[in-house]
Amino acid sequence: FEPWNDPDEKPLIQFQNVSKRFGDFTAIDDLTIDIFEREFFALLGPSGCGKTTMMRMLAGFEAPTEGKIFLAGQDIAPVPPNQRAVNMMFQSYALFPHLSVWENIAFGLKREGMPRNEINARVDEMLRLTRLEKFARRKPHQISGGQRQRVALARSLAKAPKLLLLDEPLGALDRKLREETQFELMDIQEKTGTTFVIVTHDQEEAMTVASRVAVMDNGQVKQVATPADIYEAPNSVYVADFIGDVNLIEGKATATGKGSYALHWRDGVEPLTVESQNIFSDGQTAHLAIRPEKVTISADRPAKAANAVQGKVLDIAYLGNLSTYHVELPTGDVIKAQTANTRRISRRAYTWEDTVWLSWTASGGILLAN
Ligand code: ATP
């Protein structure tokens, strides 16, 4: 393998207006995206949004009803699954129970008729890559779940595919092992330079491993961007709400200057001040999406805050490094504020029923049309 350098912005996969229908049900709806060489790309979305269907079309187990899929510039429609430079790793791993780890990894290479010395070299390389050297002679039932997962990965990378599809690869692992394995996956992806496409419904997992994330809803891609952009600049209420925790405040926008708006959100309540890149016409419905960590909680009204509202602490969730406060306003709205617990929290700053101020800057949130 060549070591990984910069991602060359060359699309390895192109979905061009791809639709997939099962009877009159549309699982994938006119989808167009590029996935680049050497990318770690995540398909993220709720159950049933079409993630697995996209994978199956790439692998060749399903054909698009409409549109085309290109792999390295070539229409893959006529290429049978076993001749695509694509491999798929399933959640169940599907290891052969009667074969050793070594034989499991070698299986596909033998079937391909690769010369013995090349197989030996290749399997050894895979064992090193996945840190399984010590387990080469063991059978799948003699190793842990995490190790089995690595055998499955080694086996699917042995033939050096251009593209590896991972369908919920870490679903069977417990939380701690899952987190460790995410870093291993990233490391292995980087070392091999293989394009990885991972399917997950776990947003933290997608954000951790992927260089870019596609957020899907009902057969459509809502946004494709880096994890940071998905989190900080979501393009829709759906994406803002799907990724992380968010306060959503709906109102009517009125321009008050270039790129700045007043959001009228409750009768008889001061409008909110918002700076926005997105353009709104006067009176247009807009949603302020503001992350809880952008909301500051204080006992007194802050002197210079662009936005400040008063309320009562309803709930506190202590998360160790963070605490999330649910604060109820006189309007009945509940706003979440999150603080970092950088100091000892034994003297907790605020408690239930405390009257507090919540404040945020004009650019702390993002204004979305829908
Ligand atoms: P999950 O996370 O639950 O696996 P997913 O996002 O991977 O969900 P898909 O498996 O791609 O979703 O399925 C998308 C939709 O297409 C679902 O509503 C599913 O019921 C439907 N579907 C998938 N395969 C078929 C099929 N062979 N025949 C009919 N409907 C199907």
Measure 220 CA to ligand 1 centroid, in angstroms.
13
Yes or no: say if 276 and 256 are a contact pair by the CB < 8 Å rule: no
CA distances from 305 to 96, 177, 272, 294, 358 (A): 63, 43, 11, 12, 9
Instruction: Say how many domains are in the chain.
Output: 2
Measure 80 CA to ligand 1 centroid, in angstroms.
22
Q: Alpha-carbon distance 148 to 143, whole Å?
A: 7
Residue with CA at minimum distance from ligand 1 atom 25: 22
Place 347 in a pLDDT band, splitting at 50, 70 and 90.
Answer: low
- pLDDT tens, residue by residue, 191-242: 999 999 999 989 999 999 999 999 999 999 999 999 999 999 999 999 999 9
- pLDDT for position 26: 96
Q: Alpha-carbon distance 263 to 250, whole Å?
A: 8
Measure 27 CA to ligand 1 centroid, in angstroms.
7
Pocket probe for ligand 1: among 15, 24, 49, 217, the residue whose CB has the most ligand atoms within 8 Å is 49
- pLDDT tens, residue by residue, 155-183: 999 999 999 999 988 887 888 888 998 99
| Residue bearing tokens 């995206």 | 33
Q: Are residues 227 and 271 in the same domain?
A: no
From 241, 266, 286, the end of a domain falls on: 241
Taking the CA of residue 53 as reference, the ligand 1 atom at the shortest distance is 11
- pLDDT for position 345: 59
22 lines ligand 1 (CB under 6 A): yes
Q: Alpha-carbon distance 37 to 12, whole Å?
A: 5
Q: Is 236 exposed, middle or buried (0-12, 13-18, 19+ CB in 10 A)?
A: middle
- Would you say residue 257 lies in a domain? yes
Q: Is the pLDDT of residue 6 over 70?
A: no
Measure 43 CA to ligand 1 centroid, in angstroms.
14
Q: Are residues 201 and 316 in the same domain?
A: no
Tell me the mean pLDDT in the region 324-339: 96
- Residue 284 sits in a domain whose CATH number is 2.40.50.100
Q: Is the pLDDT of residue 8 over 60?
A: no
105 lines ligand 1 (CB under 6 A): no
Place 4 in a pLDDT band, splitting at 50, 70 and 90.
Answer: very low
- pLDDT for position 342: 80
From 190, 225, 241, the end of a domain falls on: 241
Taking the CA of residue 54 as reference, the ligand 1 atom at the shortest distance is 11
24 lines ligand 1 (CB under 6 A): no
CA-based nearest residue to 168, from 124, 199, 213, 142:
199
Q: Are residues 260 and 236 in the same domain?
A: no
Place 1 in a pLDDT band, splitting at 50, 70 and 90.
Answer: very low
156 lines ligand 1 (CB under 6 A): no
Q: Is the pLDDT of residue 7 over 80?
A: no
- pLDDT for position 182: 93
Q: Are residues 72 and 111 in the same domain?
A: yes
Cβ count within 10 A of residue 219 = 22
ipTM of the complex: 0.94
* pTM of the predicted model as reported, rounded to 2 decimal places: 0.89
| Beta partners for residue 288, in sequence order | 249, 367
- Would you say residue 6 lies in a domain? no
- Would you say residue 3 lies in a domain? no
Please give the mean pLDDT across all residues of the chain: 92
Give the lowest-confidence range in 4-18, 123-137, 233-247, 248-262: 4-18
Q: Are residues 191 and 269 in the same domain?
A: no
Q: Which two tokens stand for residue 295?
A: 């909301």
Report which of residues 6 and 104 the model is more confident about. Answer: 104
- pLDDT tens, residue by residue, 12-53: 999 999 999 999 999 999 999 999 999 999 999 999 999 999
Residue with CA at minimum distance from ligand 1 atom 28: 22
Residue with CA at minimum distance from ligand 1 atom 7: 52
Q: Are residues 16 and 149 in the same domain?
A: yes
| Residue bearing tokens 């190793």 | 143
- pLDDT for position 5: 46
Measure 358 CA to ligand 1 centroid, in angstroms.
43
Q: Are residues 205 and 79 in the same domain?
A: yes
Yes or no: say if 4 and 190 are a contact pair by the CB < 8 Å rule: yes
- Would you say residue 4 lies in a domain? no
pLDDT over 90 for what percent of the chain?
81
Q: Are residues 212 and 93 in the same domain?
A: yes
Q: Is 152 exposed, middle or buried (0-12, 13-18, 19+ CB in 10 A)?
A: buried
DSSP annotation string for 95-138: --TTS-HHHHHHHHHHHTT--HHHHHHHHHHHHHHTT-GGGTTS
Instruction: Supply the range of the domain harboring residue 83.
Output: 11-241
Pocket probe for ligand 1: among 29, 52, 168, the residue whose CB has the most ligand atoms within 8 Å is 52
Residue with CA at minimum distance from ligand 1 atom 2: 47
DSSP annotation string for 167-232: ESTTTTS-HHHHHHHHHHHHHHHHHH--EEEEEES-HHHHHHH-SEEEEEETTEEEEEE-HHHHHH
Place 348 in a pLDDT band, splitting at 50, 70 and 90.
Answer: low
| Residue bearing tokens 């039932």 | 141
- Residue 194 sits in a domain whose CATH number is 3.40.50.300
Q: Is the pLDDT of residue 330 over 70?
A: yes
55 lines ligand 1 (CB under 6 A): no
Q: Which two tokens stand for residue 316?
A: 């506190």
- Would you say residue 252 lies in a domain? yes
56 lines ligand 1 (CB under 6 A): no
Q: Is the pLDDT of residue 249 over 70?
A: yes
47 lines ligand 1 (CB under 6 A): yes
Q: Are residues 226 and 266 in the same domain?
A: no
> Which residues neighbour 44 within 8 Å (Cβ) at sequence distance 6 or greater?
51, 200, 201, 203, 206, 213, 214, 215, 216, 242
